[in-house]
Structures are given as structure tokens and as C-alpha cells.
Amino acid sequence: MAITALLVVVLAVQAQSTQRAQAEAVTLAVARTIAEMPEVAAAVTTGTDAAATATLQPIAVRIMDLTPIDFVTIMTPDGIRLTHRDPAEIGRPYLGTIGPGLAGRELTEEANGTLGPSLRSVVPVMAEGRVVALVSAGITLGSVASGVLGQVPFVVAIAVALAAIGLAAAWFAGRFTRRIAGDLPASAVRDAVSSYESLRTLGEALRAQTHEHGNRMHTAVALLELGRTEQAIELLTETARSSQDLVDRVVARDGDPTVAALLLGKAAQAAERGVEWSVDMQPAIPRTTLGAVDAVSLVGNLVDNAIDAAAAGPEPRWVRVGMALTPDQRIALTFADSGEGIAPELRERVWEHGFSTKPAGAEGRGVGLALVRAIVEAAGGSITLDAGAPTTFRVLLPSGIAP
């Protein structure tokens, strides 16, 4: 029961975080779209405020009716509302931050307005190189919370199912191993750890990819509802093109589709943390002799370490993954990052089980590199850490193809 309760809490927090991030993305997308509408700039630069309200209020109402946005406030540079969900508030000062908008920058914040606490984005309306108005689009925290509450039954069902599966698997595994093998050998322990690490890193990657696609889909829907069909199609086409390019390179011929899914997710994970991501891959690289679980555990751990190091280091922050086939038909993998590097006195200790340069806790497990080396060596390969900068791990694995 304790495990189930913990799972419910973790999944609920994740659902709330995702719902909030999606709400922020939608408010920013809608505010940007409105700010780019030519009729908005025309209305605020010609005629009186009352005339601008007569033109813009119907537009704001239509947008609020067609999108999940709770309010659209178009205001003068002085912060006087020209539109509002409550017409009685038109002509009164906007309640929120407008300084960045007046400086020509976008802003997303949580603030308390006439409709209560909300997430809102403020985008400047530009004309002839100057800010002529500001657009604020927002979603109340009540709307965000209702979206999370709608997911609670699903979250509870998933948590209960996972707990039941885990208990059943543990019971069957315990009985099986006691009857067949007695004490687990070292290889079985490594396989168990590899399975856990594989699920962890793939789960993180898929969560990031799902989050990114969710944000883009919300933006595309907002564009479609506002009649910006060409921009929506361009956004979706570019997303599909970039994803398909990586998939084609990874799964060409005998490539591993599991690794393709992992790398796609890690690209989204890197973007979330402000890290530039690139994959340099020779075409038609065959599979390694590793199974899917070990391949995901190996690649995922090395990529996770690289993203963590790059995100904690100075700009520009980047991670580069390389895959190539050597002349002797081995698969060469490289993982480089822009982080601050590994101190010379720690270069040997990083391979020790339980040692980590990261803080103790979820991000400082001290398992990754020890497990990676065990997987590589068990497959008949090798792993090395380059001297100097940038930090680069190089892995050589047999491909199953005779040299």
C-alpha cells in the first residue's frame, strides 16, 4: 500500500507539472499569434481607445470561445485594457507585469488578476520597430487544476496496476530463483540492474518526447483555431521531418528501433534543459550483439551523464553522439559534452560501483558507468574516457559481422 500511495503521489505531481507546462505553452502560442495579427496593430495605432476596443473585443471573445484560454487582454503600452472577458474591466489598468513586454520581450508568469490566480503570457505588439500594444493570454489555475483532477482516476489505476504487477513479478521471481538457482549469480544481478536502468532512462526519454509533442500539438491546435493553417502545417511538418530523419538513420537496415526511440526522447530531454543536441551517424549501421535492454541501458546512461554535465556547465551547452562502423567491422560509439569535465584524480574512480560526481539522490546513483563498463565488457567490447576536453566516452562493440 505504501508503494502504491507513493506511486500515486509521484504520478500526480508529474501530471500537474505536465498540465502546467502545457498551459504555459498554450498561453504563449495564443498571445504570439494575436500579437502578429495585422488588425491588432492597425486598431491600436489608428483612432481612439474606444474604437480599438470596438474592433478588438469581438476578436478576443472569439479566441476565448475557440481555445482553452480563459482570458485575452489586449492593452495599451500604459497597461490600460482594451479587451477583457468582463467588459466592465475594459479601460482599467492591467494587473500583472508589463515591463519586459514594453522592452520588446515575452514574459510568462503566475499572477493574481480579476479572475483570480492564473498563468499568463505577455507578448508585445510591434509596429515600425516600436511597441504599440501588449497582448496577455492566460489560463486560471482553477482550469489547470481541473485538468489535473481529470487525470486522477487514470493515475490511480496505473499506480495500482504497477504495484500489482511488481508484487506478482517479485513473488514469481523469488520462487523461481529459489527453486532453480538458489543464490543469484553476478551476471543475473547485472541483468536485473540493467533492466531497471533501461526502463528508467527510456521512461525519462519518452516522457520528455511526449511533453514536447504535447506542447507542439497544443500550439498547432491554437494556430488552426485562429485560422493560421499554413503556420500550423509548417510546425507539424517540421516536427515530423526532424523526427523521421533521426528514425531513418537509426533503424536503417538492421538498426535498433529501441535505440531510435531512446535517442528521439533524449533529444527532447536535452531541449528541455537548454542543451543543443546532435547525432552524427553513418548510414546503415548494423545492430550490436547487445540485447535491447543492455543497448538502452548503455546508450541511455552515457547520454544522461552527458546531458547532466552539459546542463551544469557554461554556455554554449551541447551534447554530441556519434555512431560509426570501423574498418574491422566493430561499432564505434562516442558521447561528448560541453561540461566542465572530469578531474584527473577521478578518472579511474568514475568506473567504481557506488561512486558518482553528482550529488547523492536520484541524479547521483553511482550505478551508471560501472554498469556500462560491465555491459560493454560482457559483450566483448571496450570503453575509454578521452584525456582532456571535451569530455568524451568512446565505446567499441562487436557488430556480429565478420571483419
Residue 73 has pLDDT above 80, yes or no: yes
Same CATH fold assignment for domains 2-146 and 184-398: no
Superfamily of 2-146 according to CATH: PAS domain (3.30.450.20)
Task: Specify burial of residue 229 (Cβ count, 10 A radius: 0-12, 13-18, 19+).
Answer: exposed
| Residue 178 φ then ψ, to 5° | -65, -35
The more confidently predicted of residues 256 and 27 is 27
Q: Which residues contact 319 (CB under 8 A, 6 or more apart)?
A: 270, 275, 276, 277, 278, 303, 306, 307, 310, 335, 336, 337, 338
Mean pLDDT over residues 388-401, rounded?
85
Q: From residue 303, how far is each of 28, 267, 334 by CA, in Å?
A: 30, 10, 10
Name which CATH class applies to 184-398.
alpha beta
Q: Where are the domains of the chain?
A: 2-146, 184-398
The more confidently predicted of residues 16 and 92 is 92
For 163-176, what is each residue's pLDDT tens digit?
Answer: 565 566 556 655 55
- Provide the edge-to-edge strand list for the sheet that holds 318-325: 276-281, 318-325, 330-337, 391-398, 382-385
Q: Whats the size of the chain, residue-wise? A: 403
- The listed range with the strongest mean pLDDT (155-159, 273-277, 282-286) is 273-277
Q: 26-35, 46-55, 239-248, 256-265: lowest mean pLDDT where?
A: 239-248
Q: Using omega within 30 degrees of 0 as the cis cutoff, is the peptide bond preceding 316 cis? A: yes
For residue 273, the Cα-to-chain-centroid distance in whole angstroms is 8
For 169-211, what is each residue's pLDDT tens digit?
Answer: 556 655 554 554 445 455 555 555 555 565 566 556 556 555 5
Residue 249 has pLDDT above 80, yes or no: no
- Average pLDDT over the chain, rounded to whole? 76
Q: 59-63, 90-94, 216-220, 397-401: lowest mean pLDDT where?
A: 216-220
Q: Using omega within 30 degrees of 0 as the cis cutoff, is the peptide bond preceding 257 cis? A: no
Mean pLDDT over residues 112-133, rounded?
89
Whole-model pTM over 0.85: no
For 281-309, what is each residue's pLDDT tens digit?
Answer: 887 777 777 887 788 888 888 998 999 99
Mean pLDDT over residues 358-382, rounded?
72
Q: How confident is the model at residue 329 (pLDDT cuts 50, 70, 90)?
A: confident
Residue 363 has pLDDT above 50, yes or no: no
Q: What is the reported pLDDT for 362?
A: 42
DSSP state of 264: H
Strands 391-398, 107-113: pairing kind: unpaired
3-state secondary structure of 383: strand
Distance CA 263, CA 247 (A): 9
Q: 131-135, 247-251, 283-287: lowest mean pLDDT where?
A: 247-251
Q: Look up residue 178 and give its three cell numbers.
A: 529459489
Q: Smallest Cα–Cα separation from 382: which of 326, 325, 333, 316?
A: 333
Q: Are 137 and 71 in contact (CB under 8 A)?
A: yes
Rama region for 317: left / alpha / beta (φ>0; ψ in -120 to 50; rest): beta
Q: How confident is the model at residue 395 (pLDDT cuts 50, 70, 90)?
A: very high
Q: Are 391 and 309 in contact (CB under 8 A)?
A: yes
Q: What is the reported pLDDT for 287?
A: 75
